[in-house]
Amino acid sequence: MIIDVHSHLYDDNPPKRNFQFPGEPPGRVSASVFARHALAQPVDLMILSANPEWINTRAGLARANNRVAEIVRKHPRRFAGLCQVTPHFLKESLAEMDRHVARGNLLGLGELCQYVNKYETTDKRMYPLIERAIDLDVPILEHSSVKDQSDGVARLARTFPNARFILAHMGGMFNWPQGLEMARRRDNVWVDTSGYVMLCPGAMETALRKLGPSRILFGVDFPLIKAAPLVAALDSLALKSADRDRIAWKNGADLFKLRVRP
């Protein structure tokens, strides 16, 4: 079994972006077309968050989470979802958490993309959202691709020791050593393998040495990245079967409280 804890719902097939839905013309794609391509990935369950570009208005924030919740409703065995929030619309974001997370439609917060939505990782306006996530006992997926961002997650993890943070991309393709060292020091931080970091020489071996298999989560970052090379990279590691299962799906199932069986 494979649970992908980090992918995204997109509705466009851009000619100049770093991903394409094969065989589709450039332009908008429907939810059913997205689902067809996502369901073809070699993962059993994909945890989606909305394109963060959608949440830069109040109306966009609500629509984004509705769209994720709808695709989860249509394919409950293959998709789960996260709730997007932003400090720019705190009242509305708290309402989104009550509407979706508290009711079990979505399983946590994320991916929080501060570089897209133009705020600092440690913006104190985020504190009520983190506190609400603690109350709801759900994880928070934080984007991190540079040192300032992973340092910001470290400060949040110290400030909120009862929160559970997922450091996306292990901290980044060029920042993963620092990201992993930060996560080693904070037992309320997990890392995911999404993006190309899993293919960086030494990254997974270092993650296993510093964190062990219990705090590494398999992630893809679909549709920007395809799942097959990352699954192959996981299977190429010299892992005990139990450790491979922990990374591939059990850690994700435990963290998000998913009732799944291989």
Please return the burial class of 241, using the count of CB atoms within 10 Å of its CB with bins 0-12, 13-18 and 19+.
exposed
- Helix axis angle, 31-39 relative to 58-74, nearest 10°? 50
pLDDT in tens, 211-228: 999 999 999 999 999 999
* pLDDT value of position 262: 75
pLDDT in tens, 137-160: 999 999 999 999 999 999 999 999
Give the mean pLDDT of 163-183. Answer: 97
Please return the burial class of 75, using the count of CB atoms within 10 Å of its CB with bins 0-12, 13-18 and 19+.
middle
Q: Are 50 and 8 in contact (CB under 8 A)?
A: yes
Cα–Cα distance measured from residue 10 to residue 29, given in angstroms and rounded to the nearest whole number: 8
Give the mean pLDDT of 22-45. Answer: 94
17 pLDDT above the threshold of 70 = no
pLDDT in tens, 92-108: 999 999 999 999 999 99
- Helix axis angle, 176-185 relative to 147-159, nearest 10°? 10
Cα–Cα distance measured from residue 70 to residue 72, given in angstroms and rounded to the nearest whole number: 5
173 pLDDT above the threshold of 90 = yes
Give the mean pLDDT of 203-208. Answer: 97
Cα–Cα distance measured from residue 208 to residue 199, given in angstroms and rounded to the nearest whole number: 14
Give the mean pLDDT of 77-91. Answer: 98
According to DSSP, the β-strands at 3-9 and 109-112 are unpaired
Cβ neighbours for 35, distance < 8 A, ≥ 6 positions apart: 71, 74, 75, 79
Please return the burial class of 134, using the count of CB atoms within 10 Å of its CB with bins 0-12, 13-18 and 19+.
middle
* pLDDT value of position 116: 96
Q: pLDDT class for 229, splitting at 50, 70, 90?
A: very high
The CATH fold of domain 3-256: TIM Barrel (3.20.20)
* pLDDT value of position 20: 81
First to last CA, the chain: 5
Instruction: Calculate what percentage of the chain has a pLDDT beyond 70.
Output: 99
Least confident of 16-25, 160-169, 237-246: 16-25
123 pLDDT above the threshold of 90 = yes
The token duo for 243 is 């450790």
Cα–Cα distance measured from residue 194 to residue 218, given in angstroms and rounded to the nearest whole number: 7
pLDDT in tens, 230-257: 999 999 999 999 999 999 999 999 999 9
